[in-house]
């Protein structure tokens, strides 16, 4: 397998960073996960735009233009002769230099990207998933797609240990998002989700969900819902690059609606299906 490293293409095994690397030592970097369907990117421009916003937010100067990055990512797919469903993981850090908190001077950033096969989760998409709720203990700038994911990792692991797919996060009862996805509640044919402030990641799929609801004439209300709204919800679903539009059928052991994926969740899945083709 070929990966991209510093705008070059190398064999995956020849990537080798020094131990003093700011991504490793400080989580001082940003990333994107981009979906590939049948060897073609889905929402590539949206991901690249967000990467540039994240870079700006942490004062990271990127060594390429958006256009150049897009062409590098296209080459990556070609070099790997990728024709199936998959994803690209792209990471950029503030580079390798002796460990000091402040930014290093004139140190080039470290960039790498690689492809991975990733079949769609048909069974889960059709049947829905179970979730738990957890306190959102993250910092105030969750709109930055930064490498600092320890609270997310711990929340996801707790979900896994309880036999669940995701953790729904809340701040004082107000639902923000999941550990690695955005989350939505449906009540009386209206969709509620946390607004795109600094407190959540502005999901690329979330942007599409918003557009699908406009096309379908379903009110999309960017107002957070609360823990106590969940038992009375008609439907709940989450969205992300790797999970697409995923119905939630259980929260903390309690069934949502009739315990099956809801009508609006399915309509949005159909819209996604057409969009991603």
From 79, 87, 145, 210, active-site residue: 145
* Residue among 26 and 143 whose Cβ is closer to ligand PDD: 143
* Residue among 94 and 156 whose Cβ is closer to ligand PDD: 156
Strand partners, 266: none
Q: Which residue of 23, 86, 95, 203 would you call a contact of ligand PDD, by CB under 6 A? A: 203
Quick check: is 210 catalytic? no
Give long-range contacts, CB 8 A cutoff, 24+ apart: 55-63: 55/30, 55/92, 57/141, 57/143, 57/144, 58/28, 58/30, 58/144, 58/146, 59/103, 60/29, 60/30, 60/92, 60/94, 60/109, 61/109, 62/92, 62/109, 63/6, 63/7, 63/108, 63/109, 63/111
Q: Which residue of 33, 88, 132, 268 would you call a contact of ligand PDD, by CB under 6 A? A: 33
Q: Which residue of 206, 235, 244, 264 would you call a contact of ligand PDD, by CB under 6 A? A: 206
Asked if 176 is part of the footprint of ligand PDD (rule: CB under 6 A), the reply reads no
> Least Å distance between CB 120 and ligand PDD?
14
Report the alpha-carbon distance of residue 91 to residue 23 in Å, rounded.
Answer: 9
Per-residue binder mask for ligand PDD (CB under 6 A), 218-257, x = binder: ---------------------xxxx---------------
Per-residue binder mask for ligand PDD (CB under 6 A), 54-83, x = binder: ------------------------------
Asked if 164 is part of the footprint of ligand PDD (rule: CB under 6 A), the reply reads no
> Least Å distance between CB 182 and ligand PDD?
5
> Least Å distance between CB 204 and ligand PDD?
4
Q: Which residue of 60, 82, 205, 249 would you call a contact of ligand PDD, by CB under 6 A? A: 205
Q: Which residue of 131, 182, 265, 269 would you call a contact of ligand PDD, by CB under 6 A? A: 182
Report the alpha-carbon distance of residue 11 to residue 274 in Å, rounded.
Answer: 35
**Which residues are catalytically annotated?**
145
Give the binding site for ligand PDD (CB under 6 A).
33, 152, 177, 180-182, 201, 203-206, 239-242
């Amino acid at each position: 397998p070929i990966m991209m490293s510093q705008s070059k293409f190398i064999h995956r095994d020849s990537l080798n960073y020094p131990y003093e690397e700011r991504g490793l030592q400080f989580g001082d970097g940003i990333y994107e996960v981009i979906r590939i369907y049948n060897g073609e990117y889905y929402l590539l421009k949206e991901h690249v735009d967000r990467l540039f916003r994240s870079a700006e937010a942490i004062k990271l100067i990127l060594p390429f233009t958006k256009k150049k990055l897009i062409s590098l990512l296209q080459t990556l797919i070609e070099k790997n002769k990728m024709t199936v469903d998959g994803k690209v993981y792209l990471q950029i850090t503030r580079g390798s230099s002796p460990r000091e908190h402040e930014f290093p001077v004139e140190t080039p950033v470290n960039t790498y990207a690689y492809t991975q096969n990733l079949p769609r989760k048909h069974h889960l998409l059709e049947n829905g998933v179970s979730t738990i709720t957890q306190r959102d203990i993250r910092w105030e700038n969750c709109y930055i797609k930064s490498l600092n994911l320890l609270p997310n990792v711990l929340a996801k692991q707790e979900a896994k240990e309880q036999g669940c797919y995701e953790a729904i996060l809340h701040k004082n009862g107000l639902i923000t998002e999941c550990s690695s996805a955005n989350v939505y509640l449906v009540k009386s044919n209206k969709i509620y989700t946390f607004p795109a402030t600094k407190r959540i990641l502005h999901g690329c799929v979330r942007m599409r969900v918003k557009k699908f609801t406009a096309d379908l004439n379903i009110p999309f209300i960017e107002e957070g819902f609360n823990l106590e709204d969940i038992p009375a919800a008609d439907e709940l679903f989450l969205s992300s690059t790797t999970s697409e539009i995923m119905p939630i059928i259980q929260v903390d052991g309690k069934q949502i609606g009739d315990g099956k994926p809801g009508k609006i969740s399915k309509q949005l899945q159909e819209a996604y299906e057409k969009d991603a083709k």
